[in-house]
Amino acid sequence: MSIVDVATSPTQNPLSDPAPWWRQAAVYQIYPRSFADSNGDGLGDLPGITSKADYLHELGIDAVWLSPFYPSALADGGYDVADYRDVDPRLGTLTDFNAMLHALHTRGIRVVVDIVPNHTSDQHTWFQEALASERGSAARARYIFREGSGPDGALPPTDWVAAFGGSSWEQVPDGQWYLHSFAIEQPDLNWANPEVRDDFLTTLRFWSDRGVDGFRIDVAHMLTKDLTEPLPSQAQLDALPRDGMHPMVDRDDVHEIYAEWRQVFNSYDPPRTAVAEAWVDKARVPLYASPQGLGQAFNFDLLEADFDAGQFETVVRDNLTLAELSGSSSTWVLSNHDVVRHATRYGLPQPGRDETGRPVRKHGVDWVISGGVSPVLDRPAGERRASAATLFMLGLPGSSYLYQGEELGLHEVAEIPAADRQDPTFFRSAGTDLGRDGCRVPLPWETGSDAGSAFGFGTGGSHLPQPGWFSDYTVAGQALDPASSLELYRSALSLRRMLQTDEQLEWIPTGRSEVLRYRRPNGWEIVTNFGTEPYQVDRDDVLLASRALDAGTLPGEATVWFGDLAAN
Ligand code: NOJ
C-alpha cells in the first residue's frame, strides 16, 4: 500500500465555506450506542462521541450522521423513538448534545440527525394515550387503528406482513388492531392527521434551532397511505404498480409533506439539508432528491453490487444521470448499520441474485455456521476488495456515506450468541435471519483488552460482545501504520477534500472489462482493477493506492489515484 504524506488538518474551518457543503461531502455515520462509552455502562453515548472529536477531525470527514440517540426502549436499535425532542438518558442529556455539537462544529464537522417519521415507539406518550383512549378517539387517530376481520374481529384486518416478519397488525386489549410496518413496538403514524404533521415541523425546528446542519429521513417513502376500505390483500399490494398511487409506498402525496419541510429547512441560514432513505423505483428517486423536497436521496446500488466492474460502472452511470435529473448530487454507500459490512461481503463467495437483480443473501444469513464465522470467509480478500471499492467510491462526484468502523477494515461479527442478540429481525425470523447486530458491535479503539475494558470502547464492557479478533483491527494498532486501513482512509479523505471540485466525471476506456478508469475535470484520475491480473497504467503521478504499484503495474483488486495536487 503506498500512501503519500498529506496534511490531515484543513487550513480553514470548512463551515465557513459558502458552497452547499452536502453536495460532495464525506459523511460518517455514527451508531451512537456502539461508538464510544464515556461512563462505563457498556452503551456508547454522546459524551463518548465528544471525546472522539479529534479522531473524527483527523479522519478528515465533513459531517457525521447520528443514528437515533433519542429516548427509546430499543426494540429496533433506537428507530423506535419515544420522544423526538430529547436524548436517551443512557446516552446523555440535551446539554451533552450541545457540547458534542460544539466540539464537532469547532472542528469543521457538520452534524446530521436521524428523523424517524413513519412510526413512533409504543412507549411514546401519544401511543400510550392511544392505548388508554377509546376507539374512535382523537388519541387513536394519530395512529392507524382498525377493527379486526373474521368472527368477532379476532383476526388481523389484513394479511399484511411486517418488514421484520409476522403480521403488520397487533391487537390491543379492547380488540382493535394497530398497524406497524416494522416491529410490533413501532406503531405507524397517521400522516393524514394534521397534528402529526405539525408535530414533526416542531421537531425539525427544535433540532435546527439547536444548530444541527441536516436530517436523514428514515423510510421517507412510507409516510402517506391510502387506507380506504376494503383494504387490499398482501398479494394485491405486491401486484400493484409503484407509480405514485400505490396504497402503501412511495405515494405522490408524500411530497406535499416534504415541500412543507423544505420551507422549514430554507427558513434557516444556511438552509438545513436532508437526505431521504427511500427504497423506491429508480425513476422516482429524483422526486425525493429535488430542491423543492428533501434535496438528496440515498442510493444503495453500490452497497447491493458485487465487487464487479460491470455492476459498478452501471451503478455510477445510472445514478449520475438520476442526480442530474433532480439537480441534486448523488450519494454513495458501501456499508451502513443495516447490512453486512463490505469487507465481509466481498470476502464471501458472490451471492446469487433474484429476478430483480438483488442479492439473494440478506444480512449474511447464508454464510454463518452456528457459533462462528463461515469457513468460506476470505478475510484478506475481503479487505483488499473493500479498500479498492472505497477508493473507487471516494473519487466519485457526490457525497460518500461511510459507516463507523469501516475505516478500520472491520468485519461483520457473526459469532454473537443468540442470548446477546438485539435485532428484531433475528427474533421475528426465529433466528433464520441473523439480523443486523453483527455490524453494530462496539468499535475497538485500543489494543489489549483488560476484562471489561472492551478494547477501549469503555470501562464497563460492551452491550454486544466483541470477538477476540477485534484486537487486530483497533484504532491504536492502526494509527500511524502506513499499511493500515485507517491510514488509507485518512489519506484518501484528506486528498479528496482538496480534489473534490467540479461534479463531472469522464470514463476512460481501459481495454479490459474488469478495469474501470474515470477522470475528474481537474485531472484527478481513478483506476480500479476488479480482476486479479495486474494492469499496466500509463501515469506515474500516484497520489494514493490501495495496493502498491509495481513498475507502473496496478495489482489485482486494487485502486490507484493519480493527480497533481499543485494544480488544484
Ligand atoms: C431504516 C433503518 O435504517 C433501520 O435500521 C430501521 O430498522 C428501519 N428503517 C425502521 O425504522
Query: Residue ranges of the domains in the chain?
Result: 21-117+194-494, 119-188, 504-567
Closest Cα to atom 2, ligand 1: which residue?
218
Query: What percent of the chain has a predicted confidence (pLDDT) above 90?
Result: 82
What is residue 429's predicted lDDT score, i.e. its pLDDT? Answer: 79
Mutate to test the pocket of ligand 1, among 69, 114, 216, 218 (most ligand atoms within 8 A of CB): 218
- Asked whether the beta carbons of 311 and 359 are under 8 A apart, the reply is no
Q: Which atom of ligand 1 is nearest to the CA of 80?
A: 11
What is the rounded distance in angstroms from the CA atom of residue 453 to the CA atom of residue 461?
6
Distance CA(379)–CA(519), nearest Å, equals 31
Cell readout for 54 is 479529534
**Is the torsion defined by CA of 372, 348, 463, 444 positive or negative?**
positive
pLDDT at residue 371 in the model: 36
Render pLDDT for 173-204 as a digit per residue (tens, 0 to 9). 999 999 999 999 999 999 999 999 999 999 99
pLDDT in tens, 43-75: 999 999 999 999 999 999 999 999 999 999 999
Pinpoint the alpha helices (H) of 211-253: 234-239
Task: Please state which of the ranges 310-314, 362-366, 471-475 shows the lowest mean pLDDT.
Answer: 362-366
Q: Could you tell me the fold of the domain covering 119-188?
A: Oligo-1,6-glucosidase; domain 2 (3.90.400)
182: CA distance to ligand 1 center in Å? 8
Return the minimum-mean-pLDDT range out of 66-75, 114-123, 434-443, 511-520. 434-443
- pLDDT over 70 at 16, yes or no: no
Going by the DSSP 8-state scheme, the letter that residue 252 receives in this structure is T
Calculate how far, in angstroms, residue 288's C-alpha sits from the geometric centre of ligand 1.
18
At 434 the pLDDT is: 79
Mutate to test the pocket of ligand 1, among 76, 275, 298, 426 (most ligand atoms within 8 A of CB): 76
Q: Give 443 Cα–ligand 1 centroid separation in angstroms.
A: 21
CATH number of 21-117+194-494: 3.20.20.80
Averaged confidence pLDDT in the chain: 92
Judge whether 157 and 148 are in contact, CB under 8 Å. Answer: yes
Neighbours of 413 (CB within 10 A): 21
The C-alpha cell at 266 is 430554507
For the record, the C-alpha cell of 389 comes out as 471499492
Which of 168, 179, 219 most suits a substitution to test ligand 1, by most atoms within 8 Å of the C-beta? Answer: 219
Name residues contacting ligand 1 (CB within 6 A): 76, 79, 116, 182, 218-219, 277, 337-338
Mutation probe of ligand 1 site: the residue of 67, 70, 164, 182 with most atoms within 8 A of C-beta: 182
Cα(469) to centroid(ligand 1), Å:
28
How far is ligand 1, taken at its centre, from the CA of residue 139, in Å? Answer: 25
**Residue 507: band (very low, low, confident or very high) from pLDDT cuts 50, 70, 90:** very high
Write the DSSP assignment of 456-475 as a string of letters: GT-SS--SSPPPGGGGGG-H
Q: What is the pLDDT of residue 33?
A: 98
Total number of residues shown for the chain = 568
pLDDT tops 90 at residue 322: yes
The predicted structure's pLDDT at residue 446: 95
pTM: 0.95
pLDDT of residue 211: 98
Can you give the pLDDT at residue 372?
43
Range 489-508 average pLDDT = 96
Specify the CATH number for 504-567; select among 3.30.70.100, 2.60.40.1180, 3.40.980.10, 3.40.50.200. Answer: 2.60.40.1180
